[in-house]
Amino acid sequence: MIAIALIVLLVLLFLSIPVAATLMALALFLDEFFSAFPLHRALGDVLWTASDSFLLIAIPLFILLGEILVRTGVARTTYETLESWLSWLPGGLLHANIGTATLFSATSGSSVATAATIGTVAMPQARALGYDERLFAGSIAAGGTLGIMIPPSINLIVYGFLTETSIPRLFAAGLIPGLLLALLFILGSALLCAIWPTLGGPKRHHTWSQRIGGLRHLVPVLTLFALVVGSIYAGWATPTEAAALGVVGALAIAAGMRRLNLRVMIEAIDGTMRTTAMVMLIIITSYFLNFVLASAGVTDDLNAFIEGAGLGPYGTLMMVILLYVVLGFFVETLSLMVITIPIVAPIIIAQGFDPVWFGILLILLIEMALITPPVGLNLYVVQSVRKRGVLNDVMVGAIPYVVIMILVAMLLVLLPGIALYLPSILG
């Protein structure tokens, strides 16, 4: 049955059917032939369970926060400031791409929004200064993935919702791996450009007065990060309340910059509604699919198979990692999460692994899926912003960053404390 479900899923996705419609169609197909309990009898209960959570309100609020920052140009001023501080390194603007993505991720929570925003700001400079566009575009796509690792993260909220894991602990756990990944992206870019200088553009020189003066442009992003994440760990706000505080802070920053107007608000709200509708439809239809899979006994069969195989904890973990790497080539990331987590997470937790740690490892694997073909969403986003050349260029440019992600995944397995240190000291 699992093989049949996977084949049907891939066929429907390759036919370009929307993800939510694909999940619902698959649920109805499996329900017709395999389910022991008809789905139509449980539609109301499943729909209520999938949507009746105060935590889910955080998703549109974090999306709105990011939309406001995108529409008011905060990313552009942040990019220019980081360029003045990082462009002396081999690779120049590559590091500004990654650094800006890191800071923007600390407020946006969305990889696609991060990649699109940084790409819009950065790509014109790559052409003007003679950068190798493959690596340049790859750095933007890879930097964008940090949006789902560095808190606040919509994907971490979804994981916490599906597994009933503490969101504050997940946010704390994602910070060090996210910053480590950003640092290794910068070091990897610098190493490549030191070996092959033609990959990078000319070094650009800035005075210390320009650098120090530009730091004021980082204040809005850092203030928002402190407001959102700080309010959670100080015990002043839940993640949902912190998201609301972030929206108020973003509005105040936009007003202070004199960029808050009716057009900005209409565009931000429209973008929020579209993205939220997509996310919630995927979550709800995935609940229908997971109900059918549970009714058909798939979870019990998988548990029995793993116990019978005698793989042990790390053997099971390696099998799950391989599963996500392979599925990441073909399945959109959010749908991949909501389809597999209710099945896979209990199996991994039963093997003795920490659910917070597994959440961070899972997000890292999802990040890889965002920049691996043929379905890597960030690759398409950057290519659409680039507006010339071929998609293969972006794919090739992302390869070094995929290698770095694999290395970080290995480090997380060998040294779980990378993810668990902050949650342990924050309690």
Separation between Cα atoms, residue 160 and residue 204, nearest integer Å: 43
Query: What pLDDT does 15 receive?
Result: 72
Query: What pLDDT does 177 receive?
Result: 94
Closest CA to 379 of 406, 412, 401: 401
Closest CA to 69 of 324, 240, 253: 253
Average pLDDT on 80-100 reads 84
Mean pLDDT of the chain: 83
User: Would you place residue 221 in the very low, low, confident or very high pLDDT band (cuts 50, 70, 90)?
Assistant: confident
Residues ≥6 apart with Cβ < 8 Å to 223: 249, 253
Does the structure show a pLDDT above 80 at 19?
no
User: Would you place residue 129 in the very low, low, confident or very high pLDDT band (cuts 50, 70, 90)?
Assistant: confident
Query: What pLDDT does 326 receive?
Result: 84
Say which residue, 405 or 275, is predicted with more confidence. 405
Residues ≥6 apart with Cβ < 8 Å to 290: 338, 339, 342, 343
Residue 423 C-beta-side C-alpha neighbours within 13 Å: 22
DSSP tag of 145: G
Range scoring the smallest mean pLDDT among 237-251, 278-292, 343-357, 387-401? 278-292
Does the structure show a pLDDT above 80 at 323?
yes
Say which residue, 110 or 381, is predicted with more confidence. 381
Q: How many CB atoms lie within 10 A of CB 169?
A: 21
Residue 150 φ then ψ, to 5°: -75, 130
User: Would you place residue 206 in the very low, low, confident or very high pLDDT band (cuts 50, 70, 90)?
Assistant: confident
CB 397 within 8 A of CB 135: yes
Closest CA to 96 of 175, 181, 189: 189
Say which residue, 200 or 159, is predicted with more confidence. 159
Average pLDDT on 207-236 reads 83
Residues ≥6 apart with Cβ < 8 Å to 183: none
pLDDT tens per residue across span 28-39: 877 777 766 777
Q: 196: phi > 0 → left, psi -120 to 50 → alpha, else beta; which?
A: beta
Separation between Cα atoms, residue 81 and residue 156, nearest integer Å: 29
Average pLDDT on 141-168 reads 87
Q: How many CB atoms lie within 10 A of CB 103?
A: 25
CB 375 within 8 A of CB 329: yes
Does the structure show a pLDDT above 70 at 300?
no
